[in-house]
Amino acid sequence: MKIVVKILKKPVTSTFIAIFFGFIVASIVLGVAGYNPIDAFSALFGGIFSKPKYISNTIIKATPIILTGLSVAFAFKTGLFNIGAEGQYIVGTIASTIVGIKLNLPAVLQIPLVILAGVAAGAVFGGIVGILKAKFGIHEVITSIMLNWIALYLSNFVVSTDVFHQPDSTSTYMINESGFTTILGNWKTSDAGMEFLSHHKWLSEVLLKTDVNIGIIIAIIMAVVISILLYKSAKGYELRAVGLNKDAAEFAGINVNRNIIQSMVIAGALSGLAGALAITGTAPHKLSTMAAFENNG
């Protein structure tokens, strides 16, 4: 009995229970609507696992959601509701695109600079929310929602400028190829690469038919890093203490305002990282005019 209770208390258990009941609710809704839940879920899983390229595309699409979800979860653990992950993601794509177009350095320099530009932009956008919360008591939900729209229109403005707008299109120029983070990007289209892949159908379908990139690896690493920061460091203890009880944290000598700002800077940086990896890792490697949010955050 104790083992069962111990298992039920684990976070991963609650995750699987939530997924299970999610399918139950979805089945009820589908049934009421006149659809067969089994057929619907078969089509769902078939669309994910039936072909290697579907699996790869699912992972690629999941990467920005993982990172922006991590951004929201981190802020929540520190007592803040970062509903501005979408805007932080967008400014990350803006900064990465601008740097990726303007600079054309060797990949060993270009890639870190393009990614860091996105991270920095997201951190600044998150930091603005943190400052307004810490210094003026303005609720982060209000400011982050407003900044989401500012980010969207800023992106469209950058697309329309003469410097970045690609003629006869609704997008900017593509970033320089040295900033791409696609896996084996040059090799897979070379003669040697095509020859090798012709004998490995599964690998060929993944590499040639999808924009497989390093994003998922970085997302997993960041999830581990954030977990260590929150639960294995003094700074993480401070951030969580402020989130649990600001008055008690302040009484214990913790600088509440500074920790609020730092929390939002880190959350914003994570969303900015998601935007940077989207630009460097997936086609078309550029900004396009948006009529609405893409719901990555």
Q: Could you give the CA distance from residue 280 to residue 212 in angstroms, rounded to a whole number?
A: 11
Structure confidence at residue 215 (pLDDT): 94
Position 11 pLDDT exceeds 80: no
Residue by residue, DSSP assigns 34-95 as: T--HHHHHHHHHHHHHSSHHHHHHHHHHHHHHHHHHHHHHHHHHTT---TTHHHHHHHHHHH
What pLDDT is recorded for position 169?
93
Average pLDDT over residues 197-202: 84
Q: For 95-116, what is each residue's pLDDT tens digit? A: 999 999 999 999 999 999 999 9
Q: What is the mean pLDDT of residues 2-13?
A: 74
Q: In angstroms, rounded to a whole number, what is the distance separating the alpha carbons of residues 85 and 170?
A: 24
Show Cβ contacts of residue 251 under 8 Å, excluding neighbours closer than 6 positions: none
265 band by pLDDT with thresholds 50, 70 and 90:
very high
pTM greater than 0.85: yes
In the structure encoding, which two tokens stand for residue 237, read together?
């203890």
Q: How far apart are CA 166 and CA 297, in angstroms?
A: 27
Q: Sort 11 into a burial class: Cβ within 10 Å, 0-12 / 13-18 / 19+.
A: exposed
Task: Using a pLDDT cut of 90, give the percent of the chain over it.
Answer: 72
Tell me the mean pLDDT in the region 53-71: 93
Indicate the range of 3-12, 74-83, 253-262 predicted with least confidence: 3-12
